[in-house]
C-alpha cells in the first residue's frame, strides 16, 4: 500500500492543472469552430455591397459584443445568487469574478474591432457617438468592478461588495443596447434581427456570423471553467496561508 505526502499531492495537482476531459473536449470544439469561422469569414462569405471587404470585421465585432453581454449577465446572475441565497456560497462569487474578467477582454476586443471598422466606414478611429461612449462607460465600469474585487478583506467581504457592484454594472447594458435609437447615433441599427423581426443580411453572411457567435461563446465557456477553478485554488491557498499564520502565532504564544 502506497501513501502520498502533501508535496506529492501538490505536484500531482500542478500536473493536472485546471483541465479535465470535458474542458479538453470543449477546447478542441472551440478550435474547430474558430477555424471554421476563419474559413467562412475570410473565404466563403461574400463582400458587402456597400462596405466591401470591411464587412468581415463584423464576424469578430458582433460575437465579441454578444459574449461581453452574456458574461456580464452571468456576473449579475451569480452576484444575485450569492446575495439572495442563504448559503452565500463563494462559488457564485468566483463565477461572477471570472466572468467579469473575461467580459473585460471581450469588450476590449469589441472596442478595437469597432475602432478599425469605424476608421474604414467613418474615416476616424473614434467618435463620441452614443453607442461608443456608452459602451466605453460599460467597459470602465467593469474594470471598476474588478478593482473592487481586489480590495482587502476576507473572501466573504470581497464577495458581498463585488456582488452589489456587479448588479449595478449590468444595468448599463440596456442603455448601451438602445443608445442607437435613444440618440442620433452614427452607429448603424441591428442588421441581423431588428425589433420588427426582419433579417437584412445575406444568407452566407448570416451563417458566418452564426458560426462566429458559437465559436466565441464556446471560447468564453472554456475560459470561464478554467478561470473559475484557478480562482478556487487561489482562495484555497489564501485560506491555507491564513491557517498557517494563525498556527505559527499560537505556537509563538505557547513558547513564550
> pLDDT by residue (tens digit) across 158-208?
999 999 999 999 999 988 878 766 666 655 555 554 545 455 666 788 888
Q: What is the rounded distance in angstroms from the CA atom of residue 71 to the CA atom of residue 65?
A: 10
Higher per-residue pLDDT: 43 or 226: 226
Cβ pair 164, 151 in contact under 8 A: no
What does the pLDDT average to over 99-108? 97
Cβ contacts of 182-190, under 8 Å, gap ≥ 24: 182/130, 183/130, 184/130, 185/129, 185/130, 185/131, 186/122, 186/127, 186/129, 186/131, 187/129, 187/130, 187/131, 187/132
Contact 223, 27 (CB under 8 A): no
Lowest mean per-residue pLDDT among 16-20, 231-235, 250-254: 250-254
Strand (E) positions, the chain?
none
**What pTM, to 2 d.p., does this model score?**
0.82
Q: What is the pLDDT, as a whole number, of residue 153?
A: 82
**Inter-residue contact 186 to 127 (CB < 8 Å):** yes
**Residue 121 in this model has a pLDDT that exceeds 60:** yes
Q: Given pLDDT bands bounded at 50, 70 and 90, which one contains residue 13?
A: very low
Given pLDDT bands bounded at 50, 70 and 90, which one contains residue 242? low
Q: Work out the average pLDDT over 3-10.
A: 44
Neighbouring-strand partners of residue 48 = 52
Which pLDDT band, with edges at 50, 70 and 90, does 152 fall under?
A: confident
Q: Residue 153 has what DSSP assignment?
A: S
Instruction: Supply the pLDDT for residue 42.
Output: 83
Residue among 205, 214, 181, 176 nearest 72 (CA): 176
Q: 104: number of CA atoms within 13 Å, CB side? A: 15
233 Cβ neighbours under 8 A, 6+ residues apart: 18
Average pLDDT, whole number, for the chain? Answer: 82
Higher pLDDT, 142 or 237: 142
% residues pLDDT > 70 (the chain): 77
- Rounded to 5 degrees, what angle do the CA atoms 115, 118, 121 make? 160
- The residue with greater pLDDT, 197 or 239, is 239
User: In which band, very low, low, confident or very high, does the pLDDT at 1 lie, cut at 50, 70 and 90?
Assistant: very low
Dihedral (Cα; 230, 232, 142, 67), 10-degree rounding? 60
Per-residue pLDDT tens over the stretch 29-71: 999 999 999 998 887 777 767 677 777 888 899 999 999 999 9
Amino acid at each position: 500500500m502506497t501513501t502520498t505526502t502533501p508535496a506529492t499531492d501538490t505536484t500531482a495537482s500542478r500536473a493536472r492543472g485546471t483541465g479535465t476531459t470535458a474542458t479538453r473536449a470543449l477546447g478542441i470544439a472551440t478550435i474547430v469552430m474558430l477555424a471554421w469561422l476563419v474559413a467562412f469569414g475570410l473565404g466563403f462569405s461574400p463582400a458587402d455591397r456597400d462596405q466591401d471587404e470591411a464587412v468581415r470585421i463584423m464576424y469578430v465585432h458582433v460575437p465579441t459584443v454578444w459574449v461581453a453581454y452574456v458574461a456580464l449577465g452571468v456576473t449579475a446572475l451569480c452576484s444575485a445568487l450569492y446575495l439572495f441565497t442563504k448559503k452565500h456560497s463563494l462559488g457564485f462569487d468566483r463565477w461572477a469574478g471570472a466572468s467579469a474578467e473575461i467580459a473585460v477582454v471581450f469588450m476590449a476586443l469589441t472596442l478595437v474591432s469597432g475602432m478599425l471598422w469605424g476608421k474604414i466606414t467613418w474615416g476616424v478611429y473614434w467618435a463620441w457617438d452614443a453607442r461608443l461612449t456608452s459602451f466605453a462607460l460599460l467597459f470602465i465600469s467593469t474594470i471598476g468592478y474588478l478593482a473592487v474585487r481586489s480590495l482587502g478583506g476576507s473572501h466573504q467581504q470581497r464577495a458581498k461588495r463585488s456582488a452589489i457592484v456587479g448588479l449595478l454594472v449590468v444595468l448599463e447594458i440596456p442603455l448601451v443596447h438602445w443608445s442607437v435609437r435613444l440618440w442620433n447615433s452614427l452607429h448603424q441599427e441591428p442588421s441581423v434581427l431588428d425589433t420588427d423581426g426582419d433579417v437584412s443580411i445575406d444568407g452566407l453572411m448570416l451563417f458566418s456570423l452564426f458560426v462566429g457567435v458559437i465559436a466565441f461563446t464556446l471560447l468564453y465557456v472554456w475560459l470561464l471553467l478554467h478561470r473559475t477553478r484557478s480562482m478556487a485554488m487561489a482562495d484555497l491557498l489564501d485560506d491555507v496561508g491564513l491557517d498557517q499564520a494563525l498556527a505559527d502565532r499560537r505556537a509563538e504564544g505557547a513558547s513564550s
